[in-house]
Amino acid sequence: MTVNQSVPMNSINFKTTENQQMITEMIKDFCEKHIKPKMMEWDESQEFPVEVFKKLGELGLMGVLVPTEYGGSGFGYFEYITVITEISKVCGSIGLSVAAHNSLCTGHILQFGTEEQKKKYLPKLATAEWIGAWGLTEPNTGSDAFRMMTVGEKDGDYYIINGAKSWITHGKTGDVAVVMVRTGELLDSNGITGFIIERGTPGFTAGRKENKLGMRASETTEMIFENCRVHKDQIIGGEEGLGKGFKQAMKVLEGGRISIASLSLGIAKGAYDASVKYAKEREQFGKPIGDFQAIAFKLADMATQIEAAELLTYEAADLKMNKLPLNKVSAMAKYYASEVAVRCATEAVQIFGGYGYTKDYPVEKFYRDSKLCTIGEGTSEIQKIVISREILKGN
């Protein structure tokens, strides 16, 4: 794909760029051909359709933010929002997996890897030759990830890793994982290190696959480490990265919140678009249900909330592109957009009435998929902690 390089901007530009228009058209066409015909089948059987991601890789959508010198598309966050939103308007599962691949595993190596690590892994990830996973969460430590129990003990030039990560997107199919491991004392702020661990490394296996409410075509599994020997060269950032894993992970999640806000926007827009169409078509009492104020006002609320969520998401992207502090705004965008996704999907089911409660229409899937958005990459409650801390610090 030939792209125009994304330029950091000084203020939010409300016009869609040429790149964004091109991406939108390309994804619409891709979804019609490769996602829509099969997505309910994948949802039903919880199949993770690897071939779809390989095709998205060919289009440059698995390395959206990766510079062209490492085989990526070299886009910025505005284009990234468009990619995730447009895919998620059709299928949240594919949107979630594309988001996790781009911004977690790939994003972590891109932001904190050594030059050798970037050259080795980014071209494979950006083209989807390899699928990436990212492991922070553990069975007993989700919101409180800092207390993780997966440990890495030094043994000469190696670290022996033992423990388990849970809820990992692509935890089984992922060819490479970035994994946060405790290499110091519990609660030591410099006691966690990020390692790049390749599939096939002895002692690294996949555990249970989760049977989920929604996002069912996005693979979620445990990753298990039993005396897994990993060379110190696999520490993200090299030896200088020792002990910096938690701080790196928090930075990665700052950008990741823009991903989940975009995923949320896509789901909200998908539910809204379907609702507007249905409100015009479905007749009761001799007129379209959109003529009833009760239904029309739902559409007004949905549209207003989507616009507000989109503005917050673009504000976070604008800060990111200009390398400005974005902790508060990215948490606001993730918190608000995810709650809007749940509200819009819920209202969409209501607008569809009984038909909304069936699998014949898309809104029941939006309803199930939307709930992940208020949980993954930091729950709404945790976002409010982040926002309020920043407010009280005077930011």
Ligand X SMILES: Cc1cc2nc3c(=O)[nH]c(=O)nc-3n(C[C@H](O)[C@H](O)[C@H](O)COP(=O)(O)OP(=O)(O)OC[C@H]3O[C@@H](n4cnc5c(N)ncnc54)[C@H](O)[C@@H]3O)c2cc1C
Task: Tell me which residues touch ligand X (CB under 6 A).
Answer: 100, 134-137, 142-143, 167-169, 212, 215, 220, 372, 375-379, 381-382
The active-site residue, picked from 86, 219, 364, 377, is 377
Tell me the closest approach of the beta carbon of residue 100 to ligand X, in angstroms.
5
Residue with the CB atom nearest ligand X in the bound state: 142
Q: Cα separation of 362 and 351, whole Å?
A: 12
- CA–chain centroid gap for 9, Å, is 24
Written as one letter, the residue type at 362 is P
CA–CA gap between residue 345 and residue 63 (Å, rounded): 29
Question: Quick one: 305 or 338, whose CB is closer to ligand X?
Answer: 338
Nearer Cβ to ligand X (210/273): 210
User: Which stretches of 282-326 are DSSP H helices?
Assistant: 293-321
- Tell me if 359 sits within 8 A of 40, measured CB to CB: yes
Nearer CB in complex with ligand X: 63/194: 194
Q: Note whether 162 and 187 are within 8 A (CB).
A: no
Triad 354, 36, 174: Cα angle to 5°: 115
User: Which residue, 43 or 377, is less far from ligand X as judged by CB?
Assistant: 377
Which residues, 6 or more positions from 186, have their beta carbon under 8 angstroms from its beta carbon?
147
C-alpha distances out from residue 46 to 40, 58, 96, 386, Å: 10, 24, 14, 33
| Minimum distance from residue 371 beta carbon to ligand X (Å) | 9
Q: For this structure, is 377 an active site residue?
A: yes
Alpha helices (H) along the chain: 18-30, 39-45, 50-58, 77-90, 92-99, 107-112, 115-126, 245-281, 293-321, 327-352, 363-373, 380-392
For ligand X, which is the closer residue by CB, 350 or 379? 379
3-state secondary structure of 209: strand
DSSP string over 150-202? -EEEEETTEEEEEEEEEEEETTTT-SEEEEEEE-S-TT-TT-EEEEEEETT-T
Residue 290 or 376 with smaller CB distance to ligand X: 376
Return the number of the residue (168 or 206) whose C-beta is nearest ligand X.
Answer: 168
> Among residues 17, 29, 30, 131, which one has the least CA distance to residue 75?
17
Under a CB-based contact definition with an 8 Å cutoff, are residues 118 and 238 in contact?
A: no
| Rounded Cα distance, 338 and 272, in Å | 14
Residue 284: how many CA atoms within 13 Å on its side-chain side? 10
Chain mean position to CA 111: 16
Using the minimum distance from each CB to ligand X, give the nearer residue, 59 or 385: 385
Nearest-approach distance from CB 207 to ligand X, in angstroms: 14
Measured from the CB of residue 168, what is the shortest distance to ligand X in angstroms? Answer: 5
**How many Å apart are CA 5 and CA 11, to the nearest integer?**
17
Which positions are annotated as active-site residues? 377
